[in-house]
């Protein structure tokens, strides 16, 4: 009996996500979304109990985007690829990276350096490349991650600019050098 929906939950979420992707959460508000939706604010509050609820949905979607990056498979060694994916996410979606990894939020997921199963997985991938024992690889990976995270942060804030080829070379060289130094200890 009701009229057909012109604006779905998904429409609204998508618009909100795009705004956040370009500008972060700072500029996300009901009227801005309504404007881009070419509608009033009512559809938003019909579909979501509050702006906070909508933001939580957007946050989830951001995390999914990140996960897609991290699940990418290539012909490269898995360990190397995971570092490259992390950095690519930061470079290609700086606002999203900042939200997930450069600020403390209520939602923030597991503060993952080594968060459980995912962490275990990455250690095993690393072992394939380094040949270190599980425990040694764990310690080694902390350093690799810190370096990787440093590059990612610098790219996300646009403090440095690097081409993909430069990133790959930088990361590969540094990890090799670190490993060489590490093994000699």
Partner DNA sequence: ATCTTATGATAACATATGTTATATAACAAG
Partner DNA sequence: CTTGTTATATAACATATGTTATCATAAGAT
Report the interface residues with a second copy, using CB under 8 A: 98, 101-104, 111, 113, 143, 145-151, 153-154, 157-160, 170, 173-174, 176-182, 184-185
32 binds, among DNA, a second copy, none (CB under 5 to 8 A by kind): DNA
181 binds, among DNA, a second copy, none (CB under 5 to 8 A by kind): a second copy
78 binds, among DNA, a second copy, none (CB under 5 to 8 A by kind): none
- Measured from the CB of residue 47, what is the shortest distance to DNA in angstroms? 7
- CB neighbour list of residue 70: distance below 8 Å, 6 or more residues apart: 82, 85, 86, 89
Displacement of CA 86 from its chain's centroid (Å): 7
Displacement of CA 49 from its chain's centroid (Å): 27
Q: Where are the alpha helices (DSSP H) in 93-115?
A: 94-101
DSSP letters along 79-142, please?
HHHHHHHHHHHHHH-HHHHHHHHSS--SS-----TT-HHHHHHHHHHHHHHH---HHHHHHHHH
- Measured from the CB of residue 82, what is the shortest distance to a second copy in angstroms? 16
29 binds, among DNA, a second copy, none (CB under 5 to 8 A by kind): DNA
- Measured from the CB of residue 152, what is the shortest distance to a second copy in angstroms? 8
Displacement of CA 107 from its chain's centroid (Å): 14
| 46 lines the binding site for DNA (CB under 7 A) | yes
1 binds, among DNA, a second copy, none (CB under 5 to 8 A by kind): DNA
Binding-site residue total for DNA (CB under 7 A)?
Answer: 25
Judged by CB, which is closer to DNA: 42, or 128? 42
Judged by CB, which is closer to a second copy: 24, or 77? 24
Token representation of residue 152 = 């990612």
Can you tell me the distance from the alpha carbon of 167 to that of 129, in angstroms, rounded to the nearest whole number? 19
Can you tell me the distance from the alpha carbon of 78 to that of 71, in angstroms, rounded to the nearest whole number? 10
- Measured from the CB of residue 122, what is the shortest distance to a second copy in angstroms? 16
| 40 lines the binding site for DNA (CB under 7 A) | yes
């Amino acid at each position: 009996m009701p009229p057909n929906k012109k604006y779905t939950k998904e429409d609204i979420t998508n618009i909100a996500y795009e705004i956040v992707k370009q500008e972060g959460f700072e500029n996300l508000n009901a009227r801005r979304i309504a404007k881009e939706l070419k509608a009033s604010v009512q559809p938003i509050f019909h579909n979501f109990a509050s702006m906070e609820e909508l933001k939580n949905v957007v946050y989830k979607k951001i995390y999914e985007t990140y996960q897609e990056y991290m699940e990418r498979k290539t012909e490269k060694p898995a360990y190397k690829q995971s570092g490259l994916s992390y950095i690519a996410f930061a470079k290609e979606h700086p606002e999203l990276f900042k939200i997930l990894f450069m600020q403390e939020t209520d939602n923030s997921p597991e503060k993952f350096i080594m968060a459980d199963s995912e962490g275990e997985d990455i250690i095993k991938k690393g072992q394939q490349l380094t040949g270190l024992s599980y425990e040694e690889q764990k310690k080694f990976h902390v350093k690799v991650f810190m370096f990787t995270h440093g590059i990612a942060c610098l790219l996300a804030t646009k403090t440095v600019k690097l081409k993909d080829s430069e990133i790959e070379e930088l990361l590969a060289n540094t990890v090799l050098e670190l490993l060489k130094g590490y093994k000699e200890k």
